[in-house]
Amino acid sequence: MKNEGNQLLVLFKLYQSICAAVLDNILKSVGFDDVVYIDLFKGLQNHYLPRKCGLCGLYYLLEATAYSPFCTRPVKGRRGKTCRDLGHRKTYTDKVNSDPILLTYTKAYKQHYARYLKKKMTQAEFREWADLALELRQRAYDKELSFEEYEAEIRK
Ligand SMILES: [Zn+2]
């Protein structure tokens, strides 16, 4: 992956020039001070980390205070949406699809919510069902219920 190496190199140069520019500005305003210089440099090193985006695969600088495995570049064809917007949704969808217990729960939840919207269930009934569904899901994870028993119960 020659391209990734180049991206990283470009990024590192950019990173260095940003640091240098910020340092220059601050040092000009406060006057030269070794302590300020060292603390600031350490802070920049710790707070901006190059990371590879989990969706588009490009590198980006991540602020440690805003942890995310995705960059904030706009996604082509998805007006106004960034990798970060879409990536988190994709991660959740992948998780649901790889977990049959969670997938069954999600389907049952949607079905029951639709019943509530069509007024075939009252809000109280829906809440009661939602509590039960969470309990059933936990019992399925704990293997107190077989998958078949869980599936049959949660669909009721
Ligand atoms: Zn991205």
Q: What is the pTM of this model?
A: 0.51
Q: What is the pLDDT of residue 148?
A: 94
- Distance (angstroms) between ligand 1 centre and the Cα of 154 equals 37
Q: How far is Cα 78 from Cα 55, in angstroms, rounded to an integer?
A: 14
Residue holding tokens 């019943």? 115
Instruction: For 49-80, write each residue's pLDDT tens digit.
Output: 666 788 888 776 666 556 778 888 889 888 88
According to DSSP, residue 121 is labeled S
- Distance (angstroms) between ligand 1 centre and the Cα of 52 equals 8
For residues 128 and 115, the answer to whether their CB atoms sit within 8 Å is no
- Distance (angstroms) between ligand 1 centre and the Cα of 27 equals 34
Check pLDDT > 90 for residue 139: yes
Instruction: For 100-119, write each residue's pLDDT tens digit.
Output: 998 999 899 999 999 999 99
Of the spans 41-45, 47-51, 98-102, which averages the highest pLDDT?
A: 98-102
